[in-house]
Amino acid sequence: MRDDVFPDGLLLSPVRALAWIDAPTVDALTPESLGDLFDLDPRPEFLLLGTGANLRQPPRPFVRAVEALGIGVEAMDSRAAARAWGVLRAEERQIVAALLPL
């Protein structure tokens, strides 16, 4: 069994998991800070945004920009987002996740 640790954050898609190097704070999030996370076919239904140890609402401009791509944003603390990821991917939902460190 392998236990990987991602101290700076983690970006997840149905096809890969990447260390999120230089992840911004919640207040500094932009769609560009997520790299190519949304460049999937089919396009993700929504982004699970793990905001660290506690739930923090992402900036409205960030949410509006992601929603303009046709992708919803669900913010929660990173532990809850990781649990939701497992459940939703088991249902084969087309989602992505950005998890900030605890």
Q: How many residues does the chain have?
A: 102
Number of structural domains the chain divides into: 1
CATH of the domain at 81: 3.40.1230.10
Q: Consecutive 10-residue runs of the chain (102 residues): their mean pLDDT?
A: 81 95 95 96 96 97 98 98 97 97 92
CA distance 30 to 58: 10
**What is the reported pTM?**
0.94
The domain in which residue 24 lies consists of 10-99
In a domain, 1, yes or no: no
In a domain, 75, yes or no: yes
